[in-house]
Structure formats: C-alpha cells, structure tokens
Amino acid sequence: MLLPNQTMAPLLILLLFLCLGSLRPTASADEQFSFNGFTGANLILDGMATVTPNGLLQLSNATSQLKGHAFFPAPLQFHNGTAAMRSFSTAFVIGIIGAYEQLSSHGMAFVVSKTTNFTAALPGQFLGLVGSANNGNASNHLFAVEFDTILNSEFDDMSGNHVGIDVNGLHSVAADNAGYYDGATGAFRNMSLVDRKPMQVWVDFDGRTMQVNVTMAPLQVPRPNKPLLSTTVNLSSVIDGTAYVGFSSSSGILFCRHYVLGWSFRMDGAAPPLNVSSLPSMPVTFPKPRSRTLEIVLPIASALLVFAVAAAAFVLMRRRRMFAELKEDWETTYGPHRFSYKDLFHATDGFSDGRLLGIGGFGRVYRGSLPKSKSAEIAVKKVAHGSRQGMREFVAEVVTIGRLRHRNLVQLLGYCRRKGELLLVYDYMPNGSLDKHLYDQTKMVLSWGQRFRIIKGVASGMLYLHEDWEKVVLHRDIKASNVLLDADMNARLGDFGLARLYDHGTDPHTTHVVGTMGYLAPELGHTGKASKASDVFAFGAFMLEVACGRKPVVQDARDNHLVLVDWVLDQWRAGKVTAAVDPRLGGDFVEHEASLVLRLGLLCSHPLPAARPTTRQVAQYLDGDLKLPELSPTYQSFNMLALMQDQGFDPYVMSYPMTSITAGTMSQMSDLSGGR
Ligand SMILES: *[C@@H]1O[C@H](CO)[C@@H](O)[C@H](O)[C@H]1NC(C)=O
Ligand SMILES: *[C@@H]1O[C@H](CO)[C@@H](O)[C@H](O)[C@H]1NC(C)=O
Ligand SMILES: *[C@@H]1O[C@H](CO)[C@@H](O)[C@H](O)[C@H]1NC(C)=O
Ligand SMILES: *[C@@H]1O[C@H](CO)[C@@H](O)[C@H](O)[C@H]1NC(C)=O
Ligand SMILES: *[C@@H]1O[C@H](CO)[C@@H](O)[C@H](O)[C@H]1NC(C)=O
Ligand SMILES: *[C@@H]1O[C@H](CO)[C@@H](O)[C@H](O)[C@H]1NC(C)=O
Ligand SMILES: *[C@@H]1O[C@H](CO)[C@@H](O)[C@H](O)[C@H]1NC(C)=O
Ligand SMILES: *[C@@H]1O[C@H](CO)[C@@H](O)[C@H](O)[C@H]1NC(C)=O
C-alpha cells in the first residue's frame, strides 16, 4: 500500500471515498487515514477491544482486570532518511463510561509503539501499556498520551483526572488536569474524563522542534488555540523507524467502558478533521447518576413529608387505628419477642424528632425508654417493609438472632410489625456509632488504646457470629457506622444477620454508594454470595479505617478518589506502615499494636478470599496468640484492591503472573518471613 509519492494520495482518498461512502473509513496508504465511526474498519484488536454494531471502537467491556488494544494495521514510517523525525498529527474522540458517576477504572491512552504485542503489559494502573518490571525501560519504544482516571501515587500521578504524555512508561513527562483553554477568554475550563460525555483530543508532534502538543475539548466545543499540554520530547530514539499507532485501555477492579468514536491521523500535516455529526453515539448503559435520582426523590420526599404530617394529624384522631399492628397466629410462639406498637410509641414519645438517633440506609432509629422497667433504654429502628412475602421466615430469623448474646454484639430485644413497617428493638448504646467518634471534629479523639480495644471487640463479636454460636451468622455489613459504643466505650456490632431483610426493603442501592464501597469484597460482585471471607474483608477495611481515621474510599477536595488500602500499602512498601496511623493521635500509639492492626488489615483485604485469614486467625493475631506472618512481597504489585466491584476477577488476575495474586499466595505468606 505504500505510495510512490504524495501527489497520488488525494486521488486515492477520493477513490476510496467514492467507493465506500462517507461513513466508511478512509485510509490513504500509510500516511493518512480517517475513521468517522469504525464500522468495517480493519484494525488489529486484542483483549477486550471490539467494534460494536453501531461503529464504536470499544476498548474495554465492563470486565475487570483486563486490557484492550486497537491498532491501525500497517506500521507507519516515523523517520525519513537518517535521523530526522517526521511530524505527525492525530485527532480522536473518546468517551469513558465508568461504573459510578465520577468514578471509573484506570483509563486509556493513545499509543505510538514499535510493537502491537502487549501480552507482557499489565491491566489496572498500568493501562495495558507496560508491566511493572519494564515500566520506563527505554527498550519499550513507546510513546503515549494517557487519559488517567485514577490517582496512582506509585507513578506520581497528579490527580485522578489527568492527561499525561508518557515515554516508555507511566511516569508522565508532562501532565495536567483534564481541561481546555477557552478560545474567547483564554480561561482554563476543567473537564471530567469520566462524566460519560464524548471529548475530542488532538495530538500534534513537530519532528523538527520535537515539540508535542495535546489539546482537548468537549465534543461540541471547537478546537482551542492553546494546547492543554505542550512540551518537547526527543522521540528520535523512542520511535525506532516504523511504529504502530492506536489505543490502549485497561480496567481495574471497577467496571468501565472506554470508547473511541472517531479517529484521524496524518503524517507531515494536520490530521483531517473528524465529522462530528456522523460519529456513532455512546451508549447509556450504566445506571443514571445518583444525584439525579436524589434531585427527583427529594421534592417527592418533601411532598411526602407534608402529606405524612397531615396524615399523622388525621391518624391522631383515631387512636385505635394508630396503634394497629399486624399479628398472625403463627406469631404467638414468638410472644416474648413481640413488642406492642403502643409501648414503643410511648417509649419514644411518639417517635418524636427529639428522640431521633439517626437515619440509616433503611430507616430511622429512635431512642426510647420502656415504662415497665424504668431503666431499660432501647433503640427502635423503623424499617419500611412492603412485602409480606417471606415475613414468616424473617420473623423467625429475628427471633433467632434475638437469641444471640455476646458482649460485643448489640442485643436485639424483639420486634413489632405493622402494615408496611417493621420495628426492631435493640439495646440502647449511649455512645452512638463509631464513625461519629472517628470523624466528628467536635468529639474527643479516640485514643489508640480505645481503638485497639474496639478492633479486638469487633473481632470477638464477629468470631462469635461465625464460629462460636450454634449456627453460622454472617454479618454482611461490617463497617464503622454499624459498630456502636456502649457506656464503657465497648464496641458492639449492630445490625447483623439481617441484610436479607433489607433485600425486601426500600433502599437496595445503599450498598452501591461510594462510601461503603471499600467494604465490599471483590468476589461479592462476582458470586453475590456473602461468606465468612467477605465479612473478614470488610473487617480488614474496618481495621484500617479505625487505625488511620480515614474512610476506605475518600474523595479529596480535588475530586480524586483515594483508596485507603492502596495508601496503607504505599506506606508499607515505603517501610513504615505505621506512618498511616491517624495523625490526630499525635504519634501517641503503641507501635507494635498499630503495625499489627495495619498489616492484618492489609492481609484481610486480599482480593482472593482464600488468601485472607480465617475469622479465628484474625482474633488470634489480635490477641497475640498467633504471630502474624509477614506480608508477601507479592503484595508489591497490586493496587485498588479495596474498591468495590461488580464482578469477580480471580481468573483474570491469575493469568497475569506479574500480579502474583494466586491461591498459593497464602502459603507463600506463611513461608516468607523476610521483608519488613
Ligand atoms: C470482554 O472481553 C473479554 C476478552 O475478549 C471476553 O472474554 C469477555 O467475555 C467480554 N465480556 C463482555 C461482558 O463482553
Ligand atoms: C524528509 O522530510 C523533509 C521534510 O520534513 C523533506 O524535505 C525531505 O525531502 C524528506 N526526505 C526524504 C528522504 O523523504
Ligand atoms: C508477544 O510477546 C510475548 C512476550 O512478551 C511472547 O511470549 C509472544 O510470543 C509474543 N507474541 C507474538 C505473536 O509475537
Ligand atoms: C530493559 O529491558 C531490557 C530488555 O527487556 C533488559 O535487558 C534491561 O535489563 C532492562 N533495563 C532495565 C533498567 O530494567
Ligand atoms: C504547539 O502549540 C504552540 C502554541 O499554540 C504552537 O506555537 C506550536 O506551533 C504548536 N506545536 C505543534 C507541534 O503543533
Ligand atoms: C534527539 O536525540 C538524538 C540522539 O538520540 C540527537 O542526535 C538529536 O540531536 C536530538 N534532537 C533534538 C532536537 O534534541
Ligand atoms: C458529516 O456527516 C453528515 C451525516 O452523516 C453528512 O450529512 C455530512 O455531509 C458530513 N459532512 C462532511 C463534511 O463530510
Ligand atoms: C480545575 O480542577 C482543579 C483540580 O480538580 C482545581 O485545582 C482547579 O481549581 C479547577 N479549576 C477551575 C477553573 O475550576
């Protein structure tokens, strides 16, 4: 296909154009091409990459821990004659759809590479470009412009929303937050890579001055004059004669879809402009952004509130109906666990706002005192419960759980049932939930001694649920806000075993909120099946949270999502894991206890369930009855593992020896005693 000279190129383009029509890709030899949509395009694809029926080049397909590449099939001549580099220019339109609003897996890149064989490259933060051993190695002969949606401190990323120019590795030679300079005012406008909207990018390289410019803008915005990035990179030794051009993308633990909608390229001249109006459109496949739902729900909720107040006044006039309960014959056997609504109503001053302890994902919790035994302080949780289906089984479960007794569990005293509503009665915990003590600036900072006792208490409660009672009870929702503190600041696990109830409840989305993301074990998304190991995973996140005083996944002021486990891992790799301890303790903590808690937290956060310690081992490590094995050096190379995901990735991880997260890791962990 090589052309003898440049003059024939326009003719050939015209011919192709006439033959194939404007939507078909047009490619004039190896010097210039243009795809407005990729239907019928001849590309070298690998991994997750496919061309969708409507012509999108889809580089990643909502599978975790995989790579996807797409390259123009012919290598291009980047050097003419001896040393002189040729100039090139490319324009493309990309779009990223992540699992959550403003949160996606790692990102994608435009690539100029000596080879199309990326089998040795890693997914996740490596963007499918390099492996951990050859990152930055000059023998990679790789130039890339990355669109990186996650902050990785190991590559000195500036933010979780940046564009970078990469040479042979992931430490960008130049980077900036995604955005553009407004043509009229010259003001910088931020863009979000993960807002699910298409964006256009131009990359221009001048072979004489070695200057590379990267410019981007939302699809509707014309090309800005001032580039986002402009730097000089001597590519003459990086690009070795010929090279392939294309795209790379990778997923981590989270869902994501990376798309290219259109792409043009030209040697020795400006890339042909893309026809924006003929590009295929991006799908809208993931759930609507949560804030939109809230916007709709809030007005409805306030309207409902007004309505509820009016209804309440009406109901007040009919006391009889007010205390109406649902009671069926089969419940008589549960007599002692059944509370009357009237008693609960009076105990809580009619569920008055003054008695409101908090609003959880599934209902409001009120403080009450039972008249019969003046001292008995209770907490009453009101759960909306529409379905009658499964009610009998559920009540049986409540009663079963009511029989659990342990000093580190919040005692469930009983229940009451009304139409569409269920009330659960618990022991009252005067010191409230742990998360308030961790994050509320007005509260006294919990000392290390208190924290360590809380962690050991929760471990002991979890052990009772998993091993020491007659039946295995899975908690399913271990997190700081479910740990309550009694009058003596003893930790007590609340809300256990009832997750299934909530499946029938009103707010099934709660578990998908970013805040609880870090607690959900990777395999949960895959199998949906809770296990002791998934509780241990959540407990690992909990331990780190208590020791560091930071949420498992936080969003910083610049909108970056920081994953606590990754950060603790960084400290551990740097040789001082206790640097992660909550700074508010002012260094006042017991070094070996803190080190134990943090390393055990990492161990419990292992992506593979089989590699996590058992519940009993966790308790033994914490009690000092068992020596914690050193973390295996294989921990070096994984990242992002605390993030919740919707799909398992064990088989994929296993196929990448570099990440070394294999089932054998557990035994390696016990064998290895070197390292830190
Ligand atoms: C994603 O791509 C991988 C690799 O080609 C494939 O095995 C997997 O089935 C795809 N998943 C979906 C949901 O299409
Ligand atoms: C190389 O490119 C320059 C302009 O960039 C041109 O003047 C020169 O003739 C080219 N040399 C060859 C051998 O194609
Ligand atoms: C791709 O590279 C790997 C090693 O990185 C090698 O084992 C494999 O044979 C290569 N595949 C091809 C088709 O060249
Ligand atoms: C770079 O890669 C080459 C070939 O893969 C290898 O021989 C060399 O040791 C690597 N250099 C570094 C600094 O790792
Ligand atoms: C890069 O941008 C600067 C400023 O707009 C411009 O002067 C220069 O010619 C551009 N270089 C390339 C290679 O496009
Ligand atoms: C780029 O590097 C090569 C050697 O690798 C050198 O000969 C050339 O002069 C450099 N070009 C520029 C513009 O710095
Ligand atoms: C762009 O695409 C539209 C729709 O396919 C078509 O009508 C229009 O002629 C195209 N414009 C150019 C300049 O090719
Ligand atoms: C753009 O975003 C960055 C980082 O998120 C922030 O520092 C900067 O202030 C923002 N700029 C504008 C103009 O909003």
Per-residue pLDDT tens digits for 473-519: 888 888 898 899 998 899 999 876 565 544 433 333 333 333 356 77
Establish whether residue 471 lines the binding site of ligand 8, counting it when its CB lies within 6 angstroms of any ligand atom: no
DSSP 8-class letter at 664? T
Q: Is 102 in the pocket of ligand 8 (CB under 6 A)?
A: no
Q: What angle do CA 11, 12, 16 make, to 5 degrees?
A: 120
Q: Give yes or no for residue 19 having a pLDDT over 90.
A: no
Which one has a higher pLDDT value, 666 or 11? Answer: 11
| Residue in the block written with tokens 């009237």 | 342
What pLDDT is stored for residue 275 in this prediction? 94
What is the model's pTM?
Answer: 0.54
**Which ligand places an atom closest to the C-alpha of 214?**
5
**CB of 558 closer than 6 angstroms to any ligand 8 atom:** yes
Q: What is the arithmetic mean of pLDDT over 176-180?
A: 96
Beta partners for 338? 415
The pLDDT tens digits for 542-555 are 999 999 999 887 76
Type of residue at 490: N
When mean pLDDT is compared across 12-26, 366-380, 443-457, the lowest value belongs to: 12-26
Q: Name the residue among 103, 106, 115 with its Cα closest to residue 141.
A: 115
**52 C-alpha to ligand 7 centroid (Å):** 21
For residue 537, the tally of other CB atoms under 10 A from its CB is 27
Known binding residues: 382
Amino acid (one-letter) located at 657: P
HSE-CB of 200 using CA atoms within 13 angstroms? 22
Question: The tokens of 53 are what?
Answer: 């029926």
Closest residue (by CA) to atom 12 of ligand 7? Answer: 275
N-to-C CA span, the chain: 58
User: In DSSP terms, which residues pair with 483 in a beta bridge?
Assistant: 493
Q: Which of 445, 442, 471, 477 is nearest to 458 (CA)?
A: 477
Residues 6+ apart with CB under 8 A from 349: 355, 368
The pLDDT of residue 227 is above 70: yes
Catalytically annotated residues: 477
- Does the CB atom of residue 133 touch ligand 3 within 6 A? no
Q: CB of 525 within 8 A of CB of 537?
A: no
Reply yes or no on whether the pLDDT at 62 is more than 60.
Answer: yes
Ligand 1 center to 472 CA (angstroms): 36
Q: 555 and 101 in contact (C-beta within 8 Å)? A: no
Instruction: Kindly report which listed range (36-45, 495-504, 634-643) carries the lowest average pLDDT score.
Output: 634-643
What's the confidence (pLDDT) of residue 559? 64
Q: How far apart are CA 406 and CA 411, in angstroms?
A: 8
Point out the annotated binding site for ATP: 382
User: Atom 2 in ligand 1: which residue has the minimum CA distance?
Assistant: 48
DSSP string, 216-247: EEETTSPPPSS-SEEEE--TTTTS-SEEEEEE
Domains for the chain: give ranges and CATH numbers. Answer: 27-276 (2.60.120.200), 294-322 (no CATH), 329-427 (3.30.200.20), 434-668 (1.10.510.10)
Atom of ligand 7 at shortest distance to CA of 275? Answer: 1
Of 589, 609, 594, the residue nearest 663 (C-alpha) = 609
Does the beta carbon of 556 sit less than 6 angstroms from any atom of ligand 8? Answer: no
Q: Which of 384, 361, 359, 357 has the alpha carbon at shortest distance from 369?
A: 357
Output the six-digit token pair for 351.
Answer: 């569920």
What are the residues facing 260 on neighbouring strands? 57, 94
More confident residue, 122 or 152: 122
Residue pair 106/252 in contact (Cβ under 8 Å)? The answer is yes
SS3 state at 585: helix
List own/partner pairs for 624-628 with CB under 8 A and 24 or more apart: 628/596, 628/599, 628/600, 628/603
**Residue 376's pLDDT band (boundaries 50, 70, 90)?**
confident
Residue whose CA is at the smallest distance from ligand 4 atom 13: 137
Please indicate whether residue 226, judged by its CB atom, sits closer than 6 Å to ligand 5: yes
Q: Which ligand is nearest to the CA of 52?
A: 1
Of the listed ranges 179-193, 213-227, 257-271, 554-568, the least confidently predicted one is 554-568
- Kindly report the protein residue whose alpha carbon is nearest to atom 13 of ligand 2: 81
Q: Is the distance from CB of 638 to CB of 659 less than 8 angstroms?
A: yes
Helix (H) or strand (E) holding 451: helix 448-463
Element (H or E) spanning 615, and its range? helix 615-623
Q: What pLDDT is stored for residue 153 in this prediction?
A: 72
Local structure of 98: helix, strand or coil: strand
Q: Residue 323: pLDDT band by 50, 70, 90 thresholds?
A: low
pLDDT at 117 over 90: yes
Please state, in angstroms and rounded to a whole number, the distance separating the CA atoms of residues 454 and 543.
9
**Residue 654: CA count within 13 A, CB half-sphere:** 9
